[in-house]
Structure 1
Amino acid sequence: MIIVIDGLNKDRYTGLLDQMYQLRARVFADRLGWDVTVRDGKEIDQFDALDPAYVLGVNDDGRVVACVRALQTTGPHMLADVFSDILRGEPPLRSATLWESTRFCVDTQVLERGKSRNSVSYATCALMAGSLEYAKNSGISDIVTVIDPVMNRVLQRSDCAPYGYVGETTPMGKVPAMAALLDCTDERIAKIRAFAGIEGDIFLDPARCEALADPVEQAPMDVVDDSLEFYCREQVAQATTEEERVAAWALMSRLRDVGMIAGRERLVGGYR
């Protein structure tokens, strides 16, 4: 199943992101021998600091088994700033409706062969379909992706052949690289789904997403900030409308639930 993590919710899914970075290290550094930076077992580059969107495939155990990164082309991105030799002097493509897809990989150590739901083939197609659906629903019309000839053949076999290429195939380290173009259309998504036998919604439902989020840590009572509690009580006291009063109590309740202010007994008994 697919989950999307971006700049809005990344702070709630640091555990899944760590799994993703570790998977990228195993694939791109260990297996493919790319010249990438790995620290503490995680492959992270400068583009991860730009709040990209990550489309992750997770198995039934909640483990990240596939991932891809989506980044806007209107700012820094890999084809413009790392793989520019592919362009042969031509300017990079830049458009608000064109995203760059990079760091596409699946966990071949965990996934099976064949075409079962837990196979490399199924996970690859589900990730492709999920990333295209997410892009289309976000108003993106096309994707440019830097791939090697092996991945190009995977796309062709999965009935997801690129509709065009940018620049020329160029040696990049141990393997040649090319920039391929994919359109985010219902037709392309349907072909991928049909090839892999994917039916129904492939995105995790809200309850499952919540279950995979980082646990909320309770603040120990000996570090509770009395000034925060005082602020909450002041907001309740100064509320001039029922809407403001309800909002103030809702904030107080939330802070109490996570242990940042005192419990209900003190709030109700002492201050209300």
Structure 2
Amino acid sequence: MYLSELWKLYEVDKRIQGFSPYTLKAYSLQLIMLFGDFVILRLRKSTLLELKEYLAKQSGRLKPSIIGDRIRFVRSLFRFAYEEGYNKKNPFLNLREPEMNNHISKFLIEEDVIHLKISCLSHRERALLEFLYSSGCHVGEVQKINIEDLNWENCSAIVNGKGSKQREVYFTTECKVWLKKYLKSREDSCKALFVTETNPTRRMSIPTIRWALKRLANWGEIEANVYPHRFRHTYACQLLDNGAPLEFIQGMLGHEKASTTQIYAQLRGERKRELYRRFF
């Protein structure tokens, strides 16, 4: 069996498990990379040494994080082949990812957030900005959310995360005010919370959300690189600075592992100094 045949079976299995189209697209790109550079990879003839030699050649031009993504995909693919009986053994079971230094996640300072708010020219821009800033959601979660998912009384929303996992997130009263202003200004019947401003009206795409934030950053003359995930980092840092325990932040971000939360939201210098003076 060739990888192309195995991929079709693997993709169907992951779709049944609820993997998002974006995740499967990323996996397919990994497969293309392997086909393009590592054409000798075949299901029954693959060896650990061959793959290590291939990855060693790529390490000089690819970041450790990209190499890690490729290794995780190969492990997942061949684990599936072994568990489903398409291969008698899994040669990549013990293939390890490269070590990566945990970096402090980039966040937006309060001044940048204020400039972004001032730069908003429409109710949609302000509502989108407030929701990203106060909910800590992935951009994919924001893109999929519907009006009916909102609970106005609790200032909360049900979002669908990776693997179709649902969780409840919260937003501020200020966000609630701008969401209601935005929805009142709309004249369409689309169920999506955030929609396009062109006809026909439809759900905003992820690239459109990113573009809207870039435009606000340009209008506000903000030097920092503004993108949706940066609001998630900012959200986590705000909670940490305000004294929220890591377990609470982990739940709010929807992380399964505490280690992921630590990478997303490192303590800022002023918070570290405060804790040092309190406990030493």
TM-score bracket for this pair, using the shorter chain length? under 0.3
| TM-score for the superposition, normalised by structure 1 | 0.22
Q: Which has the higher contact order (CA 8 A, sep 6+)?
A: 2
Higher helix share: 2
Structure showing greater radius of gyration is 1
Normalization by structure 2: what TM-score? Answer: 0.21
